Amino acid sequence: METAAPSAVIVAIDGPSGTGKSSTSKAVAAKLGLRYLDTGAQYRAITWWMITNGIDTDDPHAIAVAAGKPGIVSGTDPAAPTITVDGLDASGPIRTQEVTSKVSAVSAVPEVRTLITELQRSIAASAEGGIVVEGRDIGTTVLPDADLKIFLTASPEARAARRSGELRGKEATDLAATKEALIKRDAADSGRKTSPLAKAGDAVEVDTTELTLDQVIECVVTLVEEKRAART
């Protein structure tokens, strides 16, 4: 007797930075044999292109006019996700402090969001077997029909400590400054007009403040498995 392949499942994982979104999403996708999409990396990639092409990131009109120019391609293997801009590997440059400080302004421009949202939907639609998509507006705007929506939260202190840990060794870090920058970026991402960072009404909220990464992964894997079981 043939065993049926597990049905394709679409999982949306949203939340502010430092909640363990990327690590959780990658691990859940790898464990369950799903594809993985980091939508923050796409907004960072378009921001990096704007900076390297001399576009004023404080000028929404200039950003809107240029938004369709870069060719952004995301590789969705959770073991080795990739991001290229016009064929160039952008995985390193998109993590610099300069990009991090400018990405909220660029990603708030409606024309940028329309283009990137279309790209995200086409990647999700062609992901055989299903996909975990992480971001800020996946459950609310990009994939409102996702099979499972998770919204990760954590206290600002825990989030700043995790971000500092990630940055250590790469750039000079200071916990208070990291916390301040993170709160500022979240406020910009939550306060923008077009598809702000928000919890979907039907999302499951998981507060990760007191949880280890393994506990968060286990919690999300269980939720996905329950969804899959309920559909068979």
Which residues are at the interface with ligand DC (CB under 6 A)? 17, 39-40, 43-44, 103-104, 107, 135-138, 185, 189
Q: Which is nearer to ligand DC, 152 or 224 (CB)?
A: 152
Cα-based distances in Å from 164 to 10, 157, 170, 175 = 31, 11, 10, 6
Instruction: List alpha helices for the chain, DSSP H.
Output: 21-32, 39-52, 60-66, 97-107, 110-125, 156-167, 175-191, 213-231
Residue 107, marked binder: no
Residue 23, marked binder: yes
Q: Which is nearer to ligand DC, 33 or 175 (CB)?
A: 175
Residue 164, marked binder: no
Least spacing, CB of residue 137 vs ligand DC, in Å: 5
Least spacing, CB of residue 159 vs ligand DC, in Å: 11
Q: Integer distance in angstroms from the first to the last C-alpha of the chain?
A: 17
3-state secondary structure of 99: helix
Q: Are 49 and 57 in contact (CB under 8 A)?
A: no
Q: Which is nearer to ligand DC, 39 or 164 (CB)?
A: 39
Give me the count of residues in the chain.
232
Q: Which is nearer to ligand DC, 15 or 130 (CB)?
A: 15
Least spacing, CB of residue 230 vs ligand DC, in Å: 27
Least spacing, CB of residue 41 vs ligand DC, in Å: 6
Residue 40, marked binder: no
For residue 39, count CB atoms less than 10 angstroms from its CB and return exposed for 0-12, middle for 13-18, buried for 19 or more: buried
Which residues carry a binding-site annotation for ATP?
15-23
